[in-house]
Structure 1
Amino acid sequence: MKEILSIRHYSKSYKGGKKAVDDLNLTVEQGDIYGFIGHNGAGKTTTIRAVVGVLDFEEGDIQIDGISIKKDPVACKKVTAYIPDNPDLYDHLTGIQYLNFIADLFGVSKPDREARIQKYGDDFQITASFGDLISSYSHGMKQKLAIISALIHQPKLLVLDEPFVGLDPQAAHTLKTVMAELCRGGSAIFFSTHVLDVAEKLCNKIAIIKGGKLVTHGRTEEVTGDNSLEEVFLELIKHD
């Protein structure tokens, strides 16, 4: 399968020389739903922010759809969508104004954006609130709007940081369905989560990071073996 995300020898150090991520190598292929697992401070968000071009780095390289994020960040961002754990939206806009703003940024045609906004608005049961100011939205509604905005340009790579936080059970189920649909269409998903049972059921591949180092990765059934992902994770973070 085609490589959508390639992380090669990526390291990131902060002040004082402490390495937040140390020589990370990962490949996410077309059709993958790839779970990135680790405790708080393990290096998940640092890696994700580098992948989406928010965080500079000196060591290694990250390629999206064969293009280096260092050499051509704009080309990489055109085929990527990123949803952070706490999306920062424009409260002074209405939901529909925000979605059209994002669609304009990515050059999405009027028919395509209208169809996708309608589909995902209905899927996430938020269409009726598109005319309201984002400032009036609950945390869960803002999360739904952020997800829809990320899907408008049908990204080749969807990157999410703790996407299920703040979603009600119905919305979480919808998100899982939408993620599977996107990957069946040839995209790939790379996301971090603490919800290990969801990761085990949803992801075809898993990577576990500890103290900035990759401790295991591969197909979910290979990583878990005869145990649950929770059991494997707890065992790996307990022992060096």
Structure 2
Amino acid sequence: MESAALSPALELRQLVKRFGEKVAVDGVSLTIPTGSCYGLVGPNGAGKTTTLSMATGLLRPDHGQALICGVDVWAQPTEAKQLVGVLADGVKLFDRLTGEQLITYNGLLAGLDAETVSRRCADLLDMLELRGAGSTLVVDYSAGMTKKIALACALVHAPRLLVLDEPFESVDPVSAANIRDILQGYVRGGGTVIVSSHSMDLVQRMCDHVAVVAAGRVLAAGSVDEVRGASTLEERFVELVGGRQHLEGPTWLNLS
């Protein structure tokens, strides 16, 4: 097997997932280069969350393989999960813990010693501007604060791959800018980030690679410049996905 150092950060091979008669993911194959910031974009129901769940060990595929730094997620789940940090959209946190307790729990669960966890917890609370909320129960956090504490939990064990499903949803612009700075520093330090987002502008500014997914299939993938061509990423996305209707609305909305 290729050494982890030379392997792609994530490789998806013909992933398939069905829910009853519905095919949510239909043969998705992607290669995410190590050291990249990779955007995964698509309309609602495109299969993005299902794909990322299969890629990170949260949902077993019906067919196909996912490899993190060359390690098979489903054949070697313990080894693979040590390499990845996940901020999953819609997954409940243990919100009856304080922010500090939640980060500590995740660090200990990842096998870190108590002293290392304590030091990293303090660093993460400072970095994400949550120091004042460290002793507050997560259930009392705002939506944006909850996103930030979930990111801290994903980062505490210093993973080689960070998978973020809608990380900027409900986050205020200042916090979002700070999070982008943190992620860019993480990539410069050798990490790899995968971001699922509905914001084409954010992906175009933040990511160097992108994949457009619709109806459980990859429609285009490559560098941002390759995928968007001579247009903006949003224009290219609409062109690939389709479904845009140039409607003026009903006449009763015309107030002039």
For the criterion TM > 0.5, the same-fold answer is yes
Judge conservation of contact 1:217–1:223 (CA < 8 Å) in 2.
yes
Residues 83-114 of structure 1: per-residue CA shift (max 9 Å, x gap):
11234222221111111111101122445434
Which amino acid in 1 is paired with 2:50? T
Judge conservation of contact 2:210–2:227 (CA < 8 Å) in 1.
yes
Aligned to 2:120: 116
Which amino acid in 2 is paired with 1:8? R
Alpha-carbon deviation of 1:37? 0.6
Alignment of 1:7-156 (within 5 A): 7-16=12-21, 18-156=22-160
Residues 143-166 of structure 1: per-residue CA shift (max 9 Å, x gap):
111111111111111111111001
Judge conservation of contact 2:13–2:65 (CA < 8 Å) in 1.
yes
Residues 150-185 of structure 1: per-residue CA shift (max 9 Å, x gap):
111111111111110011111111111111111112
Aligned to 2:226: 222
Comparing 108-117 with 204-213, greater Cα deviation is found at 108-117
Aligned to 2:254: none
* 1-structure distance, mates of 2:94, 2:65: 32
Gaps of 5+ in 1: none
Which amino acid in 2 is paired with 1:10? L
* 2-structure distance, mates of 1:169, 1:112: 31
Which amino acid in 2 is paired with 1:204? D
* 2-structure distance, mates of 1:13, 1:92: 34
Alpha-carbon deviation of 1:115? 3.7
Aligned to 1:179: 183
- Bigger-Rg structure (1/2): 2
Judge conservation of contact 1:52–1:80 (CA < 8 Å) in 2.
yes
Which amino acid in 1 is paired with 2:68? I
Which amino acid in 2 is paired with 1:126? L
Runs of 4+ that moved beyond 4 A: none
* 2-structure distance, mates of 1:222, 1:111: 46
* 1-structure distance, mates of 2:90, 2:183: 19
Cα RMSD after superposing both structures: 1.5
* 2-structure distance, mates of 1:126, 1:77: 26
TM-score by length of 2: 0.88
TM-score by length of 1: 0.94
Alpha-carbon deviation of 1:29? 1.6
- Give aligned pairs, total: 238
Which amino acid in 2 is paired with 1:40? N
